[in-house]
Structure 1
């Protein structure tokens, strides 16, 4: 079934690949019969179609679950509670429903917050984590701008979200990709855009600002592969990673959507890293 009813929310998801999603032999990435599932998590104002360039290749050797978060895509949109923490809880329940005992959680932007919550609050579920230009750990002028952005979003969530979306691209971003994401933002309920953004960057425990994220992200015990286009952000996160198998990748010149701009290279780096975890 492409939909799973979790009670307060109904999630759309796809389930591809040969693996059974169980704990297997404890070595994610080896392509064996007990392969740990890959859980792909999109960003704010997007949906699981974000991973269409990656799913076919990953599903050759992995069970791949790609879900629309609450309030996004084909999933239902509750009136309240559309936050990264709630979305992580949804994914934990979805994994239980699908019989997934452990996974490699891959998250882009807001999705990186979601999978980090999953790794901290449900550590037995997350064998390894991939964060793609994460929406956490901002400091300085960027973090200082969040309160005023949230105030403007309360008046017009869609206009501010579209302006934010324009920031996510640069000259390396294909025009079709910019338009694809613009249309996804337009299709996301405004109250979801506001609630999720405020929880990410304005709440008392918002991981989007560094004074909240330092201690919390340090609680991730699993190996982490993280991609950044900003070397300064990459250097900051490198100091938080606990497992020696963790790796930080910097792609200067790319945009926030680096995994969609460079899908073949992204897949190569991810699959090689997963393979290294079993060696």
Structure 2
């Protein structure tokens, strides 16, 4: 069954690949999205790994609680899912907010997480950005939260981002539940105990005992994370020329980076890169 009835939420997830393969993977999407983020990666990853790809609470096909739509609650859901499916320890892979979620899971349930992989995770922002992030959290609680979410999303792209990625995420945000967007964003960056901004991010990222691979579109935050990661196998790498959704923009590169770091042989063509529309021929 692709649904799990967990304490407090019904979760949609897929479970692909050989059940007995080493290094099972848990793929966790970002804010306002869902597990469709991973469709370009799943075929290659599931060829040699068991791969769980859930929709977090309040997102996608999963249940939408009235409250507790926070990264910590989402991490608790994932712990319950891993226990229910008998999966673990996993390589917990998270993008953006999903990077916070897998970080909380790694810190709070180290028995379930053997390694962490993040793509442009939602932590490590400079202290000076805290007031702006708090204002954004307030605006998400305001009269037009979806417009605020779309304005935030516009910062996630470069001129080279394929147009389909922008369109896909715009449609997801238009369908999102406003209270989930507001609550989860505030929990990441503005509420008491939020870990998205330094120095709170230092202890959060540095407290993990598991080896970590972090891939960043921003060179400054990649450099910062190198100074706090504790495990000797950990790496924080900058991927220039990418936007916030670097794993979607370059899924083949992401799969190769992940499998290489895990020590698995990376296939020459691990996934199909999204194709940009070709211009019509001149007539």
TM-score in same-fold range (> 0.5)? yes
- The answer as to 2:82 corresponding to 1:95 is yes
Query: For 1:110, which of 97, 101, 115 is the aligned residue?
Result: 97
Residue aligning to 1:201:
189
* 2:262 matched residue in structure 1: 274
How far apart are the structure 2 equivalents of 1:216 and 1:50? Answer: 25
Q: Which one of the candidate residues 21, 39, 55 is aligned to 1:68?
A: 55
Segments of 4+ in structure 1 off by > 6 A? none
**Given that residues 19 and 61 in structure 1 are in contact (C-alpha distance below 8 angstroms), is that contact kept between their aligned partners in structure 2?**
no
Aligned partner of 2:14 in structure 1 is 14
Cα distance in structure 2, aligned partners of 1:149 and 1:61: 41
- Counterpart secondary structure, 2:80: helix
Q: Post-superposition shift, 1:170? A: 1.3
- What is the SS of the residue equivalent to 2:118? strand
Matched, 1:142 2:129: yes
3-state SS of paired residue (1:128): strand
In 1, are the aligned partners of 2:28 and 2:94 still within 8 Å (CA)? Answer: yes
1:3 — aligned with what?
3
- In structure 2, the residue matched to 1:28 is none
Tell me how far 1:218 sits from its aligned partner.
Answer: 1.4
Task: Give CA-to-partner distance per residue, 1:129-174, whole Å, 9 cap, x none.
Answer: 0010010011144333111111211112211111111111111211
2:267 corresponds to: none
Q: Following superposition of structure 1 onto structure 2, how do residues 1-279 of structure 1 map, counting pairs within 5 Å?
A: 1-20=1-20, 33=21, 35-155=22-142, 156-275=144-263
TM-score by length of 2: 0.91
Deviation of 1:7 (Å): 2.9
CA distance in 1, matches of 2:27, 2:129: 27
Aligned length: 263
Taking the aligned partners of 2:87 and 2:140, their CA distance within structure 1 comes to 37
**Aligned to 2:252, what secondary structure does the other structure show?**
helix
Deviations 1:69-127 (CA, angstroms, capped at 9, x unpaired): 00000000000000000000000000000011310000000000000001100011110
User: Could you report, residue by residue, the CA deviation over 1:6-52 in whole angstroms, capped at 9, with x for unpaired residues?
Assistant: 131000000000133xxxxxxxxxxxx4x131000000000000000
Q: Verify the 8 A CA contact 1:84 1:200 in the aligned structure 2.
A: yes
My pick for the range that moved more, 106-115 or 211-220, is: 211-220
CA RMSD, 1 decimal = 1.1
Which digits, 9 at most, give the CA deviation of each residue in 1:219-262, with x for residues without a partner?
A: 10000000111111001011111111111111122100001011
Match of 1:210, SS? coil
Q: In 1, distance between residues paired with 2:88 and 2:246?
A: 30
